[in-house]
């Protein structure tokens, strides 16, 4: 019998979510502290980052990679 036929997939997902709660609560504290420091964005660096990411996406797409792989990269 497959996991989803037995209803185990929903149960396993709920159990996994319960195990990960501490991880998500730590993230909330980290995000709350971000406002404490104002980090300026360097326009040139941001532009180079975006250009590089766009070029990578275009290159993968031109070579026939599936979008799921492109997004994962």
pLDDT, one tens digit per residue, over 14-71 is: 666 566 566 667 777 777 777 767 778 899 999 999 999 999 999 999 999 988 888 8
Backbone phi and psi for residue 16, each to the nearest 5 degrees, phi listed first: -65, -40
Domain borders along the chain are: 1-39, 41-73
Residue 39 tokens read as 């980090």
Are the C-beta atoms of residues 73 and 60 closer than 8 Å to each other?
yes
Residue 68 tokens read as 């799921």
pLDDT, one tens digit per residue, over 37-46 is: 777 889 999 9
Contacts of 70 (CB under 8 A, 6+ apart): 57, 60, 61
Integer Cα distance of 23 and 25 in angstroms: 6
């Amino acid at each position: 019998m497959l996991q989803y036929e037995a209803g185990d997939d929903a149960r396993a997902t709920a159990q996994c979510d319960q195990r990960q709660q501490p991880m998500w609560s730590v993230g909330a504290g980290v995000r709350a502290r971000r406002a404490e420091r104002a980090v300026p964005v360097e326009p040139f660096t941001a532009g180079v980052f975006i250009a590089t990411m766009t070029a990578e996406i275009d290159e993968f797409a031109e070579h026939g990679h599936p979008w799921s792989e492109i997004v994962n990269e």
